Chain A
């Protein structure tokens, strides 16, 4: 998943249209429960199973896309 697709995913889960490629998930309305829903969607779409700490380490769509690419 690239950064654009992840930003779309954030917008859908967070119900917040104001998400950009450099938006920190936890600063635009994300919390641990919503984080799990982002991670389950990533697993469904890309087959990559991330842990909660991965999203803490890479909370923006841009950084998360790189992490997924490195693991895929």
Chain B
């Protein structure tokens, strides 16, 4: 019994591996010349890799840690001691911990309001939440304008949302924001490094996950084969790429919603995979490579938060052996679009200048890498698709409903840990389980 998996990211390769182990004849069609999807490694020095895409995990990410254990991958803690740098109102300042120099009471009121929102949505079916209609119509920006009174909360809210979900508040519905925060384990868990969703990185880089899964699948994974069409008839499915047509009994489409909608489905989908306001997650990740993590000598952790871009936050991603100092910068939300539109030289100058202001005395970087996920042809955004007003009520009920022989995977099809690697792995397991259940009996005949 044959299955085609579209997309060699974490979700697709998880499903492909599970189906192969179960005896299915699997072909994975990947559009890019690499596997990994929104996980991607950059080798900043020989043998030293940084995560250009998804990077973090926490203890509750049990499907991911289970997968890692099977592949022999280990976690590495993200904790780095030292002071933080903040540039929230004009000049830069140093604080001993990670708490920003803003009114704690104002931020507390903001988190209270967010907590109330997240507590009111159904994690398993946000579109069926009691207040779903109202929450789906408004943007997070409208909510903030009505709810947040204190200037510190108004300043911090877009930074928080950028950090949590790579979203500009104007791009997401209140329902999507509340659902996302809840799906990830709640605002505290999703926000926290220690004891939260950013507790660990994957030793050697998150890209190793898909690299190892693909190695296990061998020749079943075909690169440079973007899927253009999926046509079903009574007997099976034809999956069409510019190079070939592959016939199968079932298909797993494991690509983000905006990309799934670019595929020509026949018969057509009853409901599209993305809605009228669905937008790419707005993240550009920047890596500045220095000879050493010199900020540590000044008692700084490398952590910073700035109200002005491009580097809205930075974190120390230096290799453990101290071979270099790597400062990772997150450019999210509206700033991601602005930064992505700059010529390379201006991106470089702006990032260098800001890093120098945040961490005075840094030498010139040895290398500079920009990973623009917003315009990445075969991702269309990162961390995950942003659902705008109207989208959840339209798309939610069909989020993971198979279209005859076509099954759906990808982190956006998981109501658990939506947008995270954990959601991707869970969706891969779910899609594999659906196919095993729906098609297993045919394996006797085919």
Q: Do A and B come from one complex?
A: yes
A29 to nearest B CB, angstroms?
8
On whether the beta carbons of B107 and A36 are closer than 8 Å, the reply is yes
Q: A51 contacts which of B104, B115, B191, B192 (Cβ < 8 Å)?
A: B104
On whether the beta carbons of B111 and A37 are closer than 8 Å, the reply is yes
User: What band does the interface of chain A fall in when counting residues whose beta carbon is under 8 Å from B?
Assistant: 10 to 19
Residues of A within 8 A of B66 (CB): none
* CA of A35 to CA of B112, assembled, Å: 11
Chain B contact residues, CB within 8 Å of chain A: 97-99, 103-112, 115, 187-188, 191-192, 194-196
On whether the beta carbons of A36 and B98 are closer than 8 Å, the reply is no
A37-B115 CB under 8 A given contacts A31-B188, A49-B105: yes
On whether the beta carbons of A39 and B105 are closer than 8 Å, the reply is yes
Residue picked from A29, A32, A38, most chain B C-beta under 10 Å: A32
On whether the beta carbons of A32 and B99 are closer than 8 Å, the reply is yes
A33-B191 CB under 8 A given contacts A40-B109, A40-B112, A52-B99: yes
Chain A contact residues, CB within 8 Å of chain B: 29, 31-41, 43, 49-52, 55-56
Residue picked from B99, B103, B106, B115, most chain A C-beta under 10 Å: B99
Residues of B within 8 A of A33 (CB): 111, 187-188, 191-192
* CA of A40 to CA of B98, assembled, Å: 19
On whether the beta carbons of A31 and B195 are closer than 8 Å, the reply is yes
* CA of A52 to CA of B105, assembled, Å: 8
Q: Name the 4 nearest CB pairs between A and B, nearest first.
A: A40-B108, A36-B108, A52-B104, A36-B107
On whether the beta carbons of A41 and B104 are closer than 8 Å, the reply is no
Residues of A within 8 A of B103 (CB): 49, 51
On whether the beta carbons of A31 and B111 are closer than 8 Å, the reply is no
On whether the beta carbons of B104 and A36 are closer than 8 Å, the reply is yes
* CA of A41 to CA of B108, assembled, Å: 8
* CA of A35 to CA of B109, assembled, Å: 11
Closest to B102 in A: A52
A61 to nearest B CB, angstroms?
17
| Pairs across A and B, CB under 8 Å, 6 listed | A32-B97, A32-B99, A33-B187, A40-B109, A49-B103, A49-B105
A55 to nearest B CB, angstroms?
8
Closest to B97 in A: A32
Residue picked from A29, A33, A56, most chain B C-beta under 10 Å: A33
B97 to nearest A CB, angstroms?
7
Q: B188 contacts which of A34, A41, A52 (Cβ < 8 Å)?
A: A34
Residues of A within 8 A of B187 (CB): 33
On whether the beta carbons of A38 and B99 are closer than 8 Å, the reply is no
Residues of B within 8 A of A51 (CB): 103-104
* CA of A36 to CA of B99, assembled, Å: 10
Q: A37 contacts which of B97, B112, B192, B194 (Cβ < 8 Å)?
A: B112
